[in-house]
Structure 1
Amino acid sequence: MTVLSIQSRVSFGHVGNSAATLPLERLGRDVCALDTVRFSSNPRYAGWRGTVTDPAELRGLIEGLDALPDEAGGGLGFVRAVLTGYFGSAAQVAVAAEAVDRVRRRVPGAFYLFDPVIGDYPAGRYVQPGVAEAMVDELLPRADLVVPNHYELDHLTGARTTTRAEVIAALDRLASMGPEMAVATSVRVAETAPGSVEVIAVGQAGRFRIETPLVPAHFSGTGDMFSAVLLADLLAHRDLARAIRRAVAATYAVVEASRNMGGAELALVAAQDLIVTADPDGVAVHPL
């Protein structure tokens, strides 16, 4: 089962496709990765270099995949799910929407996980003007599952959420715009215990939350890894609660291992076995 992953690529560190590909592969998914940007590193490092993929080039790559012969899968007929993340320009968003439509023409019912990469707290927005707006117009209505972090949830719905009830209402608003399921990560609200962070979900499995200790370290790419693990497990079992527990367990284990190793980036390669072995049974689900 192949995932078409459309997001960023860095040479140093693990964000975007550089964070999503290995977890998907370790969990048994082939990955067809298309890069929206090619950067030397996360732009938070001074001196970074790189380019934004021209939308015409991105479209050409998708058309090339869709032209594959039958013995190679019959165009995009080999794809069973689409994952999107960071976009370098608003024009790329329309190309990604076309890609979702192309895949679904080949494979009706193909799953689409939309990770609306916009920014985070406390850094704020870090995508180019027009990208977030294009994602709302083009991608949100096509999504089966949307996975914003707390900042992105607030940005997409236009209001600061400070309680669980407000987060649930915002997720319901997103779900009413297309997706069947909506999951907010990195949530910290009035009810969140000190030193903790929450994932809150609404969907076919009901409404629930998961709370984990907040690791005292920041690593870019954790959201990209989380979405990849979530998608891989959801494709296998079609159980949102189970998939979130798996993604929470794996992400927490890799982040904690990375902190113990003392590096500036996710130790994704060194800690890759934890993606598979982290125990989701130890993650408690609280109905809402």
Structure 2
Amino acid sequence: MRILSIQSSVSFGHVGNSAAVFPLQRIGVEVMPIYTVMFSNHTGYGSWRGPMMSGDDVREIVAGIEERGGLADVDAVLSGYQGGDSIGDAILDAVARVKQASPDAIYACDPVLGNARSGCHVSPEVQNLIRDRVVPRADLITPNQFELGFLTGTTPDTLESTLASVDLVRAGGPSTVLVTSVERPERPEESIEMLAVTDEGAWLIETPRIPFKVNGSGDVTAALFTAHYRSTGSGAEALERTTASVFSLLERTFATGARELALVEAQDAYAHPDLRFSAQRVR
């Protein structure tokens, strides 16, 4: 499997491609990373150093890969945080080029907009870009529950309303949706869920909530789910394998007390996940 991953990069810590690439490589995926920024660390620290790439920079790199024949046999294009129209347009151009060379390729987009606790934390330009232009072009998206509501203008909270919101976003483009950080009033206390919906059905999976927040876990989740779904075609299997790996990664990180993901230390959990959580079909 080969994935073109267009995301940010940091030298210290793990977000964007610095979170997604190694787990994908560990499960045997050939990754071609393109960096949208090259920062010292993620912006959650409040200060950082390093350059941002332009949309033209991204196009140049894609063109160089294309000249080598590298867009043939690509299985997926993966994107995460998009800083503005310039990068967004370049990513959509890359998707078009890849699909021309590899008609079976999919575009998997993590529509990074915000979360339930802090709200939307991207500019209006990026909000409009993601909602109106990017998501309709995607085949697979991985919003959290808050982002799903933002994309559809709804307030998903119960299972029924979350499924209804997924149906709305699927009607506008993406056929496969993974909803992360699902919090329903009826769920067991101190648990959290993920919901995967494909043309074949819908599956819900529950894990204990680990009481901390760490940057980059969503990037790992989007990457692994994309790879597993692309290789198996099964929403349930992709959901179970992704959940197992990410939960083990978060367990290991929490045990270290570190602020950054224990990405390397948890590497066996990607290739050999402990499948202790079962996906339940809900539709």
Normalised to the residue count of structure 1, the TM-score between the two structures is 0.94
2:179 is paired with a residue whose SS is: strand
- The alpha-carbon deviation at position 119 of structure 1 amounts to 1.4
Give the distance between the partners of 1:25 and 1:37, measured in 2 at CA.
Answer: 21
Aligned to 1:50: 50
2: distance between equivalents of 1:77 and 1:284? 35
1:91-130 alignment runs, 5 A limit: 91-130=86-125
Query: In 2, Cα distance between the equivalents of 1:226 and 1:93?
Result: 21
Give the match for residue 11 of structure 1. Answer: 11
Distance 2:112 2:221 in 1: 13
1:164 to 159, 169, 183: 159
Aligned ranges 1:131-210 → 2 under 5 Å: 131-210=126-205
Q: Following the alignment from structure 1 to structure 2, what is the Cα–Cα distance between the partners of residues 112 and 56? A: 20
Q: Partner amino acid for 1:46?
A: G
Partner of 2:268: 273
Partner of 1:88: 83
| Residue 283 of structure 1: aligned partner | 277
| Aligned-partner Cα distance in 2 for 1:274–1:203 | 25
Distance 1:174 1:286 in 2: 22
Shift of 1:75: 4.3
**Matched residue type, 2:281:** P
- 2:83 & 2:145 partners in 1: Cα distance? 21
Instruction: Identify unmatched segments of 5+ residues in structure 1.
Output: 69-73
- What does the per-residue CA deviation read over 1:186-237, in whole Å, with 9 as the maximum and x for residues that have no partner? 0112122210111112212312211110001111111110111112212221
TM-superposed deviation, 1:287: 2.1
**1:52 and 1:88 in contact (8 A); partners too:** no
Q: Could you say if the C-alpha distance between residues 287 and 75 of structure 1 is closer, same or farther in structure 2, counting changes exceeding 3 Å?
A: closer
8 Å Cα contact 2:239-2:279 kept in structure 1: no
Given that 2:203 and 2:235 are in contact with CA atoms closer than 8 Å, whether structure 1 keeps it comes out as: no
Is 1:30 equivalent to 2:19 in the alignment?
no
Change (3 A) 1:283 1:205: farther
CA RMSD, 1 decimal: 1.4
Aligned to 1:213, which of 190, 208, 214?
Answer: 208
Q: Which amino acid aligns with 1:110?
A: A
Which secondary structure does the structure 2 equivalent of 1:265 belong to? Answer: coil
Partner letter of residue 58 of structure 1?
Answer: V
Matched to 2:261, the amino acid is L
Contact 1:209/1:286, CA 8 A, preserved across alignment: yes
The number of residues matched between the two structures is: 282
* Distance in 2 separating the partners of 1:245 and 1:285: 6
Query: 1:254 and 2:249 equivalent?
Result: yes
**Taking every aligned residue pair, what percent have the same amino acid on both sides?**
39
SS of equivalent to 2:33: strand
Normalised by the size of structure 2, how large is the TM-score? 0.95
Q: Tell me if the contact between 1:37 and 1:87 (Cα under 8 Å) persists in the aligned partners.
A: no
Aligned pairs (5 A) from 1:69-88: 74-88=69-83
